[in-house]
Structure 1
């Protein structure tokens, strides 16, 4: 008697743009994160802002400049904060002002949460021995004024980075893909000026600055330093932006669509 072989049907074709993720349970559905670099840039910005808030609570003095009487006063976050503006420029250039606002608000929402956590940690009862009490006093001294620095950073960065993003996006509307370096140069100076004045005015007392002269030195030095760092980083920033544009398929798709229109 002849045996009939079971019919073999081809496997169903996945009509979705992306295949289902491997390793997941059968029937599980996940959102498509896409190929965007936004999540990495956002995580980097959040990290920089939080660490800057902690470092800025410490006043730093490099002493007087010989022959000038000008004291070099800054804070412990001076080497980090310009990176937040560099990341802001990259986010605005690639993803637009709406994504930049989202990154700014997310960064400082997490920073505020961190500041609240510091206060909770300080309020928790320490070990009653000498070491526990000494550590409690150190935490109060180091993390206690951080909320003032966070508030100063929130207002300064919100105003400065919003202006920075506005300038980049408006200039890009006029010039398109051309003029990237000009956009970075113009936006950096304006954003940092507004940010530095607001931040230094609010955070000065928390850092330990008590005189008008110290405030002026702190503000001027902070502005000059941040702008110089951003300007020095522009060759690197522009190359990173161009690389991200080439490797982000969604950017290339929209660029091709805009060129064809």
Structure 2
């Protein structure tokens, strides 16, 4: 199979963007959001981007490069929890504003570790599934049937991620009944795949552009 070397700046930018998206998604997901009958969380508009980047990395740079990206996002998420704990533990001002600020930090960032735990479990399972399907499809069809492997990897990866994440994170954002969990999980999954399917032509064109910009993709460099 043909893959580009990860030594270029393009891979580094995508890796950094993916890690930032994962960390910000964990913060946003700690807030429950309601649109009429639809229950979701504050990260609903961010997280699909992580899977689009995951598809691009797997297709252009290969499964080992995708594994590095998944691990980087995993570590960044874990490190963010430690940093939040240190921020909360640091002694602050004892005036009214300082006390109010401390309470706000504890309320906003205190429960994030539970969301991060849910995010890490869902992200690891979902991205691994996504990457495996992308790799398997490319192994069988080489440069052909890109849309087919994008669609199948998106559906399976997002299903695993959403079920795992929503089950662990639901109590943190105030979801207490099965019907609420079902709405949260179903609409979360539906939103993610609709966004990714709608952006699939853009993703495919971006992958094509990236393949042309990576000289090692069409050269003899070893797969990453």
Q: TM-score range by the shorter chain?
A: over 0.9
One of 148, 153, 164 as aligned partner of 1:182: 148
Q: Which runs of 5+ in 1 are unaligned?
A: 1-32, 64-70
- Aligned-residue offset at 1:74: 0.5
CA distance in 2, matches of 1:254, 1:147: 44
One of 158, 161, 168 as aligned partner of 1:192: 158
Higher helix share: 2
TM-score, normalized by length of structure 1? 0.81
List structure 1 segments (4+ residues) > 3 angstroms apart after TM superposition.
Answer: 33-36
1:43 aligns with 2:16: yes
Deviations 1:95-128 (A, max 9, x none): 1111111100101101110111001111112210
1:76 aligns with 2:57: no
- CA-based RMSD: 1.5
What is residue 30 of structure 2 aligned with on the other side? 57
Which one has a bigger Cα radius of gyration? 1
CA distance in 1, matches of 2:85, 2:146: 42
Deviations 1:192-225 (A, max 9, x none): 0010000000001111111111111000000000
Q: How many residues align?
A: 218
- Aligned-residue offset at 1:36: 4.8
Aligned partner of residue 250 in structure 1, secondary structure: coil
What is residue 106 of structure 2 aligned with on the other side? 140
Aligned partner of residue 61 in structure 1, secondary structure: strand
CA distance in 1, matches of 2:12, 2:54: 13
List aligned pairs for 1:208-219, cutoff 5 A.
208-219=174-185
Q: Which runs of 5+ in 2 are unaligned?
A: 1-5
Q: Is the 8 A contact 1:36 1:248 kept in 2?
A: no
1:96 aligns with 2:42: no
CA distance in 1, matches of 2:90, 2:68: 33
Aligned partner of residue 210 in structure 1, secondary structure: coil
What is residue 206 of structure 1 aligned with on the other side? 172
Deviations 1:54-87 (A, max 9, x none): 1001000112xxxxxxx21100011000000000
Aligned partner of residue 30 in structure 2, secondary structure: coil
